[in-house]
Amino acid sequence: MNIIRVANYEEMSIEAGKLIAEKVRANPSMTLGLATGSTPQGFYQYLVKDHITNGTTYKNIKSINLDEYIGLPASDPNSYHYFMQKNLFDHVDISSKNTHIPNGAATDLDEECVRYENLIKEVGGIDLQILGIGQNSHIGFNEPGTSFHSRTHVVALAKNTLEANARFFAKLEDVPTHALTMGIASILDSKEIFLLASGTAKAKAVAQLFTEGISEDFPASALKQHQKVTIIADEDALKYI
């Protein structure tokens, strides 16, 4: 795993944004695997600014998001559909037919998991997957204990994840308890992976990546089985490294 050490959140966002924009320019019909949450917001801002200033185009880019809450319609401001529209899709020239997010409002969730996994195959796989990391080492919403062979599936969110995500909701009870997520095996199929981490809250999970072996107790440790992973992290997230 290659590590890019940066000073803070802003530098992490600029570094990730620059590298991603370069890849988009080099391969304008690539498939990007995208994440939500606080970590990617800064580099999405970078990509939007770069699109406006430098004209980097997303006309033929395809995107596959990692996950979505179950039970929230796309119009709900806390859904990841809404997040992606507001943070990226509304501001670049990506075509809505090329953007994909699991449908957490599907009536048949098992069927939705199969559809999503097939979709990833149909687009030819993910060229570059961007990941954040949970305080408990989750990637996507693959909580500790998830099989490294898992594909897109329904997950019950861990207590720690519900608490961490409660900041976006009026109260803890409003956080959906379940989500759809790409599995660890789906993530590992990506040709290249960027893992982003910022802040002391992530320091333990990042340190475990280096101090612990490969174990399903630490979902992010699965990344050690991948040939092309770059960690872009700030001093706070790397404080034990």
- Taking the CA atoms of residue 20, residue 152, residue 82 and residue 195 in that order, the dihedral angle to the nearest 10 degrees is -30
Alpha helices in the chain (DSSP H): 9-26, 41-54, 80-87, 109-122, 159-165, 184-188, 203-211
From 32, 35, 120, 233, residue interacting with ligand F6R (rule: CB under 6 A): 35
Q: State which residue, 46 or 141, has the beta carbon closest to ligand F6R.
A: 141
Rounded to whole angstroms, what are the CA distances from 239 to 29, 143, 197, 226, 229?
37, 23, 12, 24, 20
Q: State which residue, 56 or 79, has the beta carbon closest to ligand F6R.
A: 79
Minimum gap (Å) between residue 120 Cβ and ligand F6R:
15
From 13, 31, 36, 99, residue interacting with ligand F6R (rule: CB under 6 A): 36
Is residue 102 a contact residue for ligand F6R (CB under 6 A)? no
Is residue 139 a contact residue for ligand F6R (CB under 6 A)? yes
Active site residues: 67, 136, 138, 143
Q: Which contacts (CB < 8 Å, 24+ apart) does range 167-175 have?
A: 168/78, 169/78, 174/78
From 4, 18, 37, 189, residue interacting with ligand F6R (rule: CB under 6 A): 37
Q: State which residue, 57 or 160, has the beta carbon closest to ligand F6R.
A: 160
Amino acid at the residue 212? E
Minimum gap (Å) between residue 54 Cβ and ligand F6R:
26
Minimum gap (Å) between residue 110 Cβ and ligand F6R:
21
Give yes or no for a contact between 128 and 23, defined as CB atoms under 8 angstroms apart. Answer: yes
Residue with the CB atom nearest ligand F6R in the bound state: 132
Rounded to whole angstroms, what are the CA distances from 135 to 24, 163, 207?
30, 11, 11
Minimum gap (Å) between residue 34 Cβ and ligand F6R:
8
Stretch of 36-44, 184-192, 203-211, 231-239 contacting ligand F6R, by CB under 6 A: 36-44
CA 149 to chain centre: 18
Q: Residue 27's closest CA among 68, 50, 59?
A: 59
Minimum gap (Å) between residue 241 Cβ and ligand F6R:
18
Stretch of 54-62, 138-146, 152-160, 169-177 contacting ligand F6R, by CB under 6 A: 138-146
Radius of gyration of the chain (CA): 17
From 33, 42, 102, 134, residue interacting with ligand F6R (rule: CB under 6 A): 134
CB atoms closer than 10 angstroms to residue 239:
15
Contacts to ligand F6R by CB under 6 A? 35-39, 66-67, 132-134, 138-141
